Amino acid sequence: MINKREKFMSKKFRFLENVYLLILLLIFIGITLTPYIIDSGFLFLPEEAVEGTAIILLFIAGYFMMLLYRQQAARNTELMAQLETDKSNLESRLEEMFKYIGALNVQIAEMRSMFSDIKKYPESKQDFKYILKFLADKVLSIVPANWVVLRVVDLTNQQTLTEYSAARGETAVLLKHNLDNNGLINKQAPVGQDIFCSEQDNLKIKSFCVIDECAVSREQKMFLKVIANQLEMLYVIFTSLNQA
């Protein structure tokens, strides 16, 4: 769309240049032929006066045509600059959009693998520990957090049933003792932390995904909630299999 407008403005600019040059040529021809057109006076005026007046009028017409051309050329130049700015902004937005789509595709792939890579339900503590590590790694692969804590809490006595933590790099500081279960249940996150919990209301347990506060998009928040729900579902399956 912008390229079409640029081509149109370029054609219009060239057209105005050609019109201006044509008018200047006509004025020059008029000035040159004025002495030959006027003979022995005109309207009771001397020939020299008529020639001088005609030439002055032609010069004035040429001057105003030059002003009009400059004004229109300035407008066209300004419009071309605006089109170039719009084009640059559009290219920048398109680049950001493609980056966003690429990041979103990565997140979708991670979400798919979160379900497909778990080949069997956990039957032992070792199996469930593997799942906890798997989910924690998924969180750190998508969200720019320095650490993550996955925890399942018994709502009847607020006791921790299981927990797993992971940190990004050796410098990440993970303070699990700051994660009070009562605060988690009431969604009262300490300063510098974000809490994402499972959404089922008919269970006596609730799972939590806690990360340090960072820039998280809407899609990433949805992903963290899915992690919490997945953790809760797998824990219910794990306890059911063990009770059986």
Note the pLDDT of residue 231: 92
Q: 3-state SS of 153-216?
A: EECCCCEEEEEEEEECCCCCCCCHHHCCHHHHHCCCCCCCEEEEECCCCCCCEEEEEEEECCCC
Please, are residues 76 and 9 in contact by the beta-carbon 8 Å criterion?
yes
What is residue 138's three-state secondary structure? helix
Note the pLDDT of residue 209: 94
Cα dihedral sign, 133-134-135-136: positive
Written as tens digits, the pLDDT of the chain (244 aa) is 545 655 665 666 677 667 767 776 776 776 666 666 555 444 555 666 666 666 677 677 777 777 777 777 777 778 777 877 877 777 777 787 777 677 667 767 766 666 666 777 888 888 899 889 999 988 998 888 989 999 999 999 999 999 998 988 765 555 555 688 988 888 887 788 899 999 888 889 999 999 988 888 888 888 899 899 989 999 998 888 877 5
Nearest 10 degrees: CA dihedral of 77, 83, 84, 85? 110
Tell the CATH topology of 122-243: Beta-Lactamase (3.30.450)
In the block, tokens 């060239």 appear at 14
What is residue 120's three-state secondary structure? coil
pTM of the model: 0.57
Task: Delimit the domains of the chain by residue range.
Answer: 2-111, 122-243
